[in-house]
């Protein structure tokens, strides 16, 4: 069986030059470890806000490392150096606008400036590439969604749709820990799990 391969890319001028420690990749690694019950491998990259370098890195992770999923963190705002979405769109075969729409929807529950985010979701070859926010708290909220005090999901996180999307791209069958994020797929796309 094909092992799920995930690329994690932190886009930050300052973290990549050692001015401060990157928080994006550790936050993503920790979240994935708690959310996924399917075995997976991770490839990480810490790079500056340079469009050509971001494009090259995304292409390498998909084309050479055969990642099924690539998550980027940082560089998605309106500032001139924020070019992650531009680089992502430049290497995309198809856009998946629902991901960006839902990420902004989640963030709007916390800050009115969520509308300034330019995060996108795209498909390149067999891979899904998603631009996530830069802050660990926002990364978790975006992936998991909003839950009430009793744990009921009020606004679904984007990761609920990721396993089915990967399945539609002929990737591995991915299962999640429902306590963290319940993955959704139509009944006809579900596999019986042997317990």
What is the three-class DSSP state of 167?
A: helix
- In tens, the pLDDT along 26-85 reads 999 999 999 999 999 999 999 999 999 999 999 999 999 999 999 999 999 999 999 999
Mean pLDDT of 6-13: 96
Identify the helix (H) or strand (E) that includes residue 84. Answer: helix 84-90
Mean pLDDT of 82-93: 98
- In tens, the pLDDT along 121-166 reads 999 999 999 999 999 999 999 999 988 888 788 889 999 999 999 9
| Joined tokens for residue 18 | 């050692």
What is the C-alpha to C-alpha distance for residues 25 and 28, in angstroms, rounded to an integer? 5
- For residues 101 and 151, the model is more confident at 101
Are β-strands 69-73 and 4-11 bridged in parallel, bridged antiparallel, or unpaired?
Answer: parallel
Are β-strands 127-132 and 121-124 bridged in parallel, bridged antiparallel, or unpaired?
Answer: antiparallel
pLDDT band at residue 176 under the 50/70/90 scheme: very high
Q: Contact 32/40 with Cβ under 8 angstroms?
A: yes
Distances (CA, A) of 2 to 170, 173, 174: 10, 9, 11
Residue with tokens 């009430």: 148
- For residues 164 and 1, the model is more confident at 164
pLDDT band at residue 194 under the 50/70/90 scheme: low
- In tens, the pLDDT along 165-175 reads 999 999 999 99
Q: Say what the pLDDT of residue 149 is.
A: 85
What is the three-class DSSP state of 147?
A: strand
Q: Say what the pLDDT of residue 195 is.
A: 46
Q: Say what the pLDDT of residue 108 is.
A: 93
What is the three-class DSSP state of 61?
A: helix
Q: Say what the pLDDT of residue 1 is.
A: 60
Instruction: Give the domain ranges of the chain.
Output: 4-189
84: Cβ–Cβ under 8 A, 6 or more apart, which residues? 11, 49, 54, 72, 74, 75, 76, 131
Q: Say what the pLDDT of residue 193 is.
A: 61
Could you tell me which of 44, 52, 54, 38 has the C-alpha nearest to residue 7?
A: 44
CATH class of the domain comprising 4-189: alpha beta
Q: Say what the pLDDT of residue 148 is.
A: 86
First to last CA, the chain: 18
């Amino acid at each position: 069986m094909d092992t799920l391969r995930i690329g994690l890319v932190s886009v930050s001028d300052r973290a990549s030059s050692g001015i401060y420690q990157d928080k994006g990749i550790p936050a993503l690694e920790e979240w994935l470890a708690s959310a996924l019950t399917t075995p997976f491998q991770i490839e990480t990259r810490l790079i500056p806000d340079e469009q050509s370098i971001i494009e090259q890195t995304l292409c390498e992770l998909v084309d050479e490392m055969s990642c099924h999923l690539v998550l980027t963190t940082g560089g998605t705002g309106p500032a001139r150096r924020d070019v992650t979405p531009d680089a992502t769109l430049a290497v995309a075969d198809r856009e998946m606008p629902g991901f960006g729409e839902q990420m902004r929807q989640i963030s709007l529950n916390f800050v009115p400036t969520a509308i300034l985010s330019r995060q996108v979701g795209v498909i390149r070859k067999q891979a899904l590439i998603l631009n996530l926010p830069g802050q660990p708290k926002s990364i978790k909220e975006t992936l998991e969604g909003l839950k009430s005090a009793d744990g009921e999901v009020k606004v679904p996180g984007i990761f609920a749709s990721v396993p089915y999307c990967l399945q539609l791209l002929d990737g591995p069958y991915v299962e999640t820990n429902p306590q963290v994020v319940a993955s959704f797929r139509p009944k006809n796309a579900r596999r019986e799990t042997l317990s």
